Amino acid sequence: MIRCALLGFVAVVTSFAGGCSRKESAAHPDAGVPAVGASAVASAASAEAAPDAGPLFTGAVDLLHHAPARLAVSSNVKNPRDYPEHLVDGNVGTAWNSRTGDLVGATIAFEIPADAKIQSLVLSAGFDKVSAKGEDLFTMNHRIRSVAVYAGSLEDEPLTTLTLDPARREPQTFPFVQPGGLYWLKVTAVQPGTQKAWKELAVSEFRVLGIPGALGFSLPRMPDVGISKEWVDQPLPGTTKDATFLYQEALGTFHPTLEAACKPIEQKIEGPFKETGNVADKPWCIPTPTSVALPAPVKSIAWLDLLIPEGSAGTYAIETDRGFVIPKNAELVNVGCPPGCMDDMLRVDTKILKAEYAADVLSLSVQQAKTSSEAFDSQGVRRPATDTSWFTLRCPMNVAPVTCARVDTKAECTMAGKPVPCR
């Protein structure tokens, strides 16, 4: 089980669409592992690896989850069920709802690093859901017919207009080949729903597909989501010189001892830790031995709880004849908890089922269960839920830095003790 550096940690993982609702820009978008559709599989080596190693990402991923990113909507309905985060949680059964009357002219703004490469935008026309009472919320609510897309400022001419089919329930994809940066989507036409008294937009999903730049995340994280536009003039979280997650720069190198492998991590995060005003007691790098049978030349594998300024991370440390290494992209848990955000309802249990070694590649078969005692169901009611996933980490040990690729094999999800679709 992971340990949090602060008072608790936010439960926004996989199908758990609850946790802290963030209304303004925080230190970093990381808030766990959201459901983002098809998962990205990183290549066996990062862009920093040897010349014959491939890039970290070889296919399009959702840049809002795989790079430092933030998103802001123009308004939000006043109720305790619908949040701006629902626009990017990967679950069509939840939706962002605008303020009453915020229809034509409503905006969605997003920003990603400048070196990212956008390939397409994905947007739902409405809320693809039928309620427990049999009400079709897609046809009852307003739906989007078109949006204008702007770069940098709404004062400039739009780059393009996206025309949506208001009869299509699934998210619609539009080519949008642009560099990273700040963009605005402004609703220019809507189709009223059958419920005449409803005056809000209801939108299930928004995604930005493309290739991350140098700051790409192998493990998806929630973007920084807000309502106001004040963040436009602030630096993009995760891109400044004192950026969080600096510890990742210290991964992938062999050291003579595990303590030596942890030391550069502590050096990277010490400054950001002090700036938060919430410095956790050392050690910040806490190993727990695994009990799986180990193939030669692997001598030991330890699970590491990393206490970091954003909350907690979990990964593996591997020992061979060359020493100890904490691979890049072996990060299996990352739970953010910025100051003021408290939720100790999340438990994450990870175990290695099998370890194999062949052709200088270590393969770890892993099972991970994420359990929240208070997850939101499709009706906005809090219930206990568990998401269990099975995957393989393939870690070539003869490249520098040592970098793993994750391949997902199976997932099972339950809520209130009953099987539910994994979202």
The mean per-residue pLDDT over the stretch 171-184 comes to 95
Q: Are residues 271 and 365 in the same domain?
A: yes
User: Beta 361-376 vs 346-358: how paired, if at all?
Assistant: antiparallel
Shared domain check, 171 and 76? yes
More confident: 143 or 381: 143
259 and 356 inside one domain: yes
Pairing of strands 224-226, 285-289: unpaired
Distance between CA atoms of 51 and 356, rounded to whole angstroms? 26
Both 402 and 290 in a single domain?
yes
**Burial class of 241 by CB neighbour count within 10 A (0 to 12, 13 to 18, 19+):** exposed
Residue 42 forms part of a structural domain: no
For the chain, the domain total comes to 2
Tens digits of residue pLDDT in 316-374: 999 999 999 999 877 776 554 433 333 445 677 889 999 999 999 999 999 988 887 76
Most confident of 244-253, 326-335, 402-411: 402-411
* 132 and 176 housed in the same domain: yes
Is the residue at 109 inside a domain? yes
The range of the structural domain enclosing residue 109 comes to 61-217
Q: Please check whether residues 193 and 72 belong to one and the same domain.
A: yes
Q: What is the pLDDT averaged over residues 60-74? A: 90
Question: How do residues 269-282 score in pLDDT, each as one tens digit?
Answer: 887 777 767 677 78
Q: What's the distance, CA 155 to chain centroid?
A: 31
In a domain? residue 233? no
Of the ranges 49-58, 77-86, 258-267, 401-410, which is most confident?
Answer: 258-267
Report the pLDDT value the prediction gives residue 230, as an integer from 0 to 100. Answer: 53
How many other C-beta atoms lie within 10 A of the C-beta of residue 256?
A: 10
pLDDT of residue 46: 29
Whole-prediction pTM: 0.53
Statement to judge: residues 411 and 265 lie in one domain: yes
CA distances (Å), origin 240, targets 137, 271, 331: 42, 13, 22
User: Helix %, strand %, coil % for the chain, to 5?
Assistant: 10, 40, 50
Query: What is the model's pLDDT at position 387?
Result: 86
The answer to the question of residue 31 being in a domain is no
